[in-house]
Amino acid sequence: MDVLIDNRQDKIDIEVDIEEIVQKVCKECLIYENKSLNYEISISFVDNKEIKRLNGIYRGKDKPTDVLSFPMEDDDDTNNFEEKILLGDIVISAEKAMEQSKEYGHSFIREVAYLTAHSMFHLMGYDHMTEKEKQIMRQKEKDIMKKIKIFKNN
């Protein structure tokens, strides 16, 4: 599994422990869904201005959001194992993650881990447009957070 991390902002420090937890979350999400680890995932940290621009372009919403997911069209898990399968791109607003960690009373690491899990499930085809879909996705996210031992008070 390759997790390519690109820090394109300078408002919030993205330290090694953040990079490690993001990689761990990606791995646990793939294992949870019984996927191979033969994937490449790109994760970019941006500021609110950049995520607002992307949110406007791709979702038609003129406001910053916490995370955006860009799944690749083909997540066929049966290709040649010499090549990594491109699962997709995750874009996290480091600023928004920090704001939300303070609002919810937990750590920045916990917020980034949760947003990563949330996006990973989007990359694997899950959504939360209906209440039933939302419940399924939330349970998966909770299970991952338990698996990596990061809880709301962390």
What is the rounded distance in angstroms from the CA atom of residue 143 to the CA atom of residue 2? Answer: 22
What is the rounded distance in angstroms from the CA atom of residue 38 to the CA atom of residue 44? Answer: 20
The tokens for 123 are 């990359």
Strands of the 67-71 sheet, one edge to the other: 2-7, 39-46, 85-93, 67-71
CA torsion 104-110-113-114 (nearest 10°) is -30
Sign of the torsion angle spanned by Cα atoms 99, 145, 142, 50: positive
The tokens for 60 are 């038609």
- Distance between alpha carbon 58 and the CA centroid of its chain, in Å? 17
106 is in an annotated binding site: no
118 is in an annotated binding site: yes
Annotated binding site for Zn(2+): 118, 122, 128
Annotated binding site: 118, 122, 128
